[in-house]
């Protein structure tokens, strides 16, 4: 599979906030991690269910490894 994040896109968003929206299980979290790594950014959560600390698996919360690589905010 090719990388959907092109250099042209990265250049256009390099100094702007990025909002990812979409249905459940559509790949938003994976895309957010890819963008955060490539742009050296942090991730701010706005998912209404991911704020619950005991729902880690049900809400596809980032893994401990992901949280070590990129700083995540507003997760339960």
Q: CB under 8 Å to 22, separation ≥6 — which residues?
A: 28
Q: What is the pTM of this model?
A: 0.70
| Per-residue pLDDT at 20 | 87
58, 55, 54: which is closest to 24 by C-alpha?
58
**What's the rounded Cα separation, in Å, for the pair 60 and 12?**
28
pLDDT digits 0-9 by tens, 5-63:
788 888 788 788 888 888 878 888 888 899 999 899 888 887 665 555 565 555 567 77
| Per-residue pLDDT at 50 | 57
Domain range annotation of the chain: 7-73
């Amino acid at each position: 599979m090719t990388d959907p994040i092109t250099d042209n896109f990265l250049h256009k968003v390099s100094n702007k906030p990025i909002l990812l929206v979409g249905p459940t299980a559509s790949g938003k979290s994976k895309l957010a991690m890819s963008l955060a790594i490539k742009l050296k950014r942090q991730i701010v959560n706005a998912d209404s269910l991911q704020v619950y600390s005991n729902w880690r698996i049900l809400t596809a919360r980032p893994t401990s490894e992901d949280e070590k690589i990129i700083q995540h905010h507003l997760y339960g």
